[in-house]
Amino acid sequence: MYKVNRNVIMGKSQYDIEVLCRKYLDRAISEEELAEMLDYFKDHGIPEAFDQMLGQEFSKTMNNAPSEDIQALTNNVRFNLIHQIRSRKQPVRYHSLPYAAAVLLISMLGFFWFMSTQEATPDQHRTSEVAITPVGHKATITLADGRVLTLDESRDGIIVEGQQITYNDGASTVLALESSSPQQLTLSTPRGGMYKVTLSDGTVVWLNAESTLKYPSHFLEGERVVELEGEAYFDVKRVSDETSTQHFQPFKVVSAHQTITVLGTAFNVSAYKDEKEARTTLVEGKVRLESVQHRKNMVLLPGEQGKIGQDGVEKNKVDINDYIDWKNGEFIFRNETAKEVLHRIARWYDIDIEYSGYLPSDEIFSGSISRYSNLQTVLDIMQEAGDLAFEIKNRTVIVGNKLKKKN
């Protein structure tokens, strides 16, 4: 158990809140006490004492690891708490997760990094002899003549400038283009891979797993158009255009069901073929979405998301962090079903999912997990938090019902 530091928090009510914080870290907090703690955080903010408790716990558990690692873990737990606090509109109730499991999930999220960096024990790999990890930085470039170049996995991006394609660290040249005329280039990532490209106009694109970006070696005056299949984050460079009354050159992203017209902005686009709708999430600036099928337009402002699919168009306010998590090295799940979570995990770890028997239809997950944890760690957290059971055979994850297996 922890000792209460009265020098950090003064006053009886604040002292009581610190006791609740310690119960939370010990996973010994009741449902009513958790609701009281979250309500206090919502009204007064997360106290500094809570951060100190986390730091002390991580320092002890991780044998005095570097302070920056301790701070990163503390920030991760705080981030998950903020997500939960923001979503609170009524007292905490756990309809789909057992109460103890829900609390354990929140607590475990802060420890996943520690677990994934330790030497594996036999029990940790009980379903797989080899730990499955993401591929990381991996991509290919397909040239106009059909040649395919495999990019260096030790680098994370390339730059297209003039007639040269170089790695973004400036260490070496990928390719010298023979013609000064625009050539169609295609950057492709496999399942489990991601890569970054800086286009000829200075626009930076982060390409997520199993995605393809088609773009010219350089843009002609008056037009900037790229094609996307999959998911990418765009940081569009503002370019002047004296021939336009608006004095800037629009940037267009053509993807499934839609065309996105950009002025100078940052946004995320998810337009995978195997998903029923394309989602555009605006971080900065302004974009206009055009639905090809429905012949409708919508303008997005920061914090808004446009959805375009077979059933129509829709615009909503969202938390942008939930949709750019992959770019920042995380999975963030907010009230997502087990199948939605596993679908995203399968694409990143390059695995197949096989469902065995009846599964709980209301199994819901919220929280964040590092995209660089090994697969077993991620599945262990999900299994501990709910009623699912997992078995790994080669690169296939068999999903079953934990309760059914016990019977």
Burial of 182 (0-12, 13-18, 19+ CB in 10 A): middle
147 and 128 co-located in one domain = no
Listed range (71-75, 220-224, 308-312) with the worst mean pLDDT? 71-75
Q: Is 394 inside any structural domain?
A: yes
Q: Which structure tokens are listed for 205?
A: 């694109």
Instruction: Say if pTM beats, i.e. exceeds, 0.85.
Output: no
Buried b (16+ CB within 10 A) or exposed e, 81-95: bebbbeeeeeebeee
Number of domains in the chain: 3
Alpha-carbon distance values, 106 to 116, 176, 317 (Å): 17, 50, 25
Same domain (yes/no): 248, 390: no
The predicted model gives 2-8 an average pLDDT of: 32
Query: Would you list the DSSP string of 230-273?
Result: EEEEEEPPP---TTSTTSS--EEEEETTEEEEESS-EEEEEE-T
Whether 147 and 217 map to the same domain: the answer is: yes
Last residue of one domain, picked from the residues 268, 297, 322:
322
CATH code of 253's domain: 2.60.120.1440
List the one residue out of 127, 126, 135 whose CA is nearest residue 393: 127
pLDDT of residue 6: 30
Same domain, 316 and 344: no
Residue 61 domain-assigned (yes or no): yes
Length of the chain: 407
Domain limits for position 383? 122-132+328-406
Same domain, 31 and 161: no
Buried/exposed 373-384: b ≥16 CB within 10 Å, e otherwise: bbbbbbbbbbee
**Whether 54 contacts 110, CB under 8 Å:** yes
Residue 65 binned pLDDT confidence (cut-offs 50, 70, 90): low
Determine, yes or no, domain membership for 395: yes
Q: Does residue 98 lie in a domain region?
A: no
35-39, 220-224, 280-284, 386-390: range with highest mean pLDDT = 280-284
Phi, psi of 355 (to 5 degrees): -100, 135
Asked whether residue 288 falls in the same domain as residue 201, the answer is yes
Q: How do beta strands 225-235 and 251-255 pair? A: parallel
Whole-number average pLDDT of the chain: 77
- Residue at a domain's end among 259, 289, 322: 322
Match 């991580």 to its residue by tokens.
58
Name the domain boundary from 256, 287, 322.
Answer: 322
Q: Are residues 251 and 284 in the same domain?
A: yes
Segment 299-313 mean pLDDT: 91
pLDDT in tens, 319-374: 998 899 898 888 888 778 888 889 999 999 999 999 987 776 667 777 777 787 78
Q: Indicate whether 222 and 275 sit together in one domain.
A: yes
112 within a domain of the structure (yes/no): no
Express each pLDDT in 145-195 by its tens digit.
Answer: 899 999 998 888 999 988 899 998 777 888 888 777 889 999 999 999 999
Q: What is the pLDDT of residue 2?
A: 31
Q: Contact at 8 Å (CB) between 255 and 270?
A: no
Q: Please say whether the dihedral angle defined by the alpha carbons of residues 331, 335, 340 and 341, taken in this order, is positive or negative.
A: positive
To the nearest 10 degrees (0 to 180), the angle between helices 67-86 and 48-61 is 130
- Are 309 and 228 in the same domain? yes
Here the contacts of 174-181 (C-beta below 8 Å, separation 24 or greater) are: 174/141, 174/149, 175/141, 175/143, 175/149, 177/217
Top mean-pLDDT range of 76-90, 129-143, 177-191: 177-191
Question: Could you give phi then psi for residue 37, rounded to 5 degrees?
Answer: -65, -45
Is 298 in the same domain as 149? Answer: yes
Percentage, residues of the chain above pLDDT 70? 74
pLDDT digit string (tens) for 14-24? 667 778 877 87
pLDDT band at 10 (very low <50, low <70, confident <90, very high): very low
Asked, for residue 25, whether it belongs to a domain, the answer is: yes
Residue 163 lies in a domain: yes
Q: Which amino acid is at 151?
A: L
Q: Is residue 103 part of a domain?
A: no
**Domain shared by 147 and 284, yes or no:** yes
Mean local confidence (pLDDT), 57-79: 62
Residues 202 and 55 both lie in one domain: no
